[in-house]
Amino acid sequence: MAALWKGRRRWKTNSYFKVLARSLTGKYDYDLVVIGGGSGGLACSKEAAQLGQKVAVLDYVEPSAKGTKWGLGGTCVNVGCIPKKLMHQAALLGTAVKDAKKYGWQIPETPSHDWGTMAGAVQNYVKSLNWGHRVQLNDKKVKYLNMKGSLVDEHTVKAFTKAGKETTLTASNIVIATGGRPKCPTNVPGVEHGITSDDVFWLRNSPGKTLVVGASYVGLECAGFLTGIGLDATIMVRSVALRGFDQQMSGLVTDYMEAYGTKFAWKCVPRRIDKLPSGALQVTWTDTQTDSQHQDTYDTVLWAVGRAPETKALGLDKLGVQLNKETGKIIVGADESTSVPNIYAFGDIGEGRPELTPTAIKAGWLLARRLASQSTQLMNYDNVPTTVFTPLEYACVGLAEEEAERRYGKDGIEVYHAFYKPLEFTVAERDASQCYLKVVCESSGNQKIIGLHFTGPNAGEVTQGFALGFQCGATYSDLLNTVGIHPTCAEEMTKVHITKRSGLDATVTGC
């Protein structure tokens, strides 16, 4: 034991002198150390290495409360965008099978869905991405360390393995890109019986009858694909759905989901969860509108009540890295700098930044170029497009109508809108009453477009192209001068001419 202690003391002494030597000579182990191996961290590290920087990436996944863990790639690859979109696709295929009968396909029996087959295929694909990221880092000569990182000073990081082995890395610059993890309520007895989005994509068995608590995009997307593959899914909504998004569009999304089969418990909050001898979960909740209590049993409770930044284990307080006390996120400048020189942060962990994978990737790539003195270009966080992959997809870019009205005044904006019917819905006899688009413009001058919203099939694919117009300062006349592709849903955007102010029927009829 004494020998072990002497060895540890000698290692710590050597580590101390190593850091001291680096600070005196100005030489470091690396040009850049990135803490966090998500989409943004990987983009930053690979670009830096491409530009000749010596780079190390630290990435370690702390298992969820249920013990779920995964490989390199962060939230998007493992427990976010990728598995979500694939399971959303599984649900869309279920709807397509129903539509197929109307188109003449002879389907002899009611189709059924096997969770294990879907989950296994999705998980195997995600694992292939994990491996691919490791190969890419190796090819670009980026040092990958499956370790947790904690800051010692503006040039030094302590890294710890799962077993507790410690090493020290020094770098000219340190970048934090650790993202966030799902939150759980702190005042609900039995909260530990629930799971989060960190778990649902890695379940071996079907979640069965599921209560999703929370109506964020995560909650709606998960409940949507669960409904689509034939499961009983209920969303418990405390206040409003899709907070921060255009609320008219939110209403269309939830109306469609209710018609689609997803249940909603509006204005309700959970009070407790009890695990019954059968293994089922008995949930007690309060309807805040009537102040009445209700109970039901579920196989799974999925918490979707928000996300928290991964900052607690980084040692930021000791260095004086400034945080937003309410959100816990790191306060950053336009160049992703923190309050401490040589330490940068971007992605979901940055205060005021969109929690979106493409923005993190772009921001990380640009940061790497600036740190390598190859560019001065800053990330433009304005007019970032996004899509909610609910059963009826919703995509948008620019301002919500409410926000536009707040900024410009009611008379300062003009809203063009249309209800349309996708051609694919006609033969299938599907209800299209929630397929809708609106274009929010400045009412003065050349009517610059400041917000665009679309619900319908392939909403993300439709909106991605229009996002380019935003970057180019598109106006309403530019939109009308664009020739549509017929027959598509996207072409309706180029023909929209009815204003909300007019009160006229906005239903599209004919070509």
What is the three-class DSSP state of 359? helix
Alpha carbon distance 100, 428 (integer Å): 8
Q: Is 417 a catalytic residue?
A: no
> Which residue, 124, 2, 74, is CA-closest to 346?
74
- Residue whose pair of structure tokens reads 């850091």 in the numeric block: 19
Strand-strand pairing, 233-237 and 263-266: parallel
Rounded to a whole number, what is the distance in angstroms from the first to the last CA of the chain?
Answer: 84
CB atoms within 10 A of CB 446: 13
* Rounded distance between C-alpha atoms, residue 76 and residue 406, angstroms: 33
* Residue 150: both structure tokens together: 């904690």
Tell me phi and psi for residue 502, to 5 degrees.
-70, -30
* Cα(364)–Cα(336) distance, integer angstroms: 9
- Please state, as a whole number, how many other Cβ atoms lie within 10 Å of the Cβ of residue 385: 19
305: left (phi over 0), alpha (psi -120 to 50) or beta: alpha
- DSSP state, residue 64: P
Which of the following is catalytic: 133, 193, 453, 486?
Answer: 486
- Report DSSP state, residue 193: G
Q: Which residues are catalytic?
A: 486
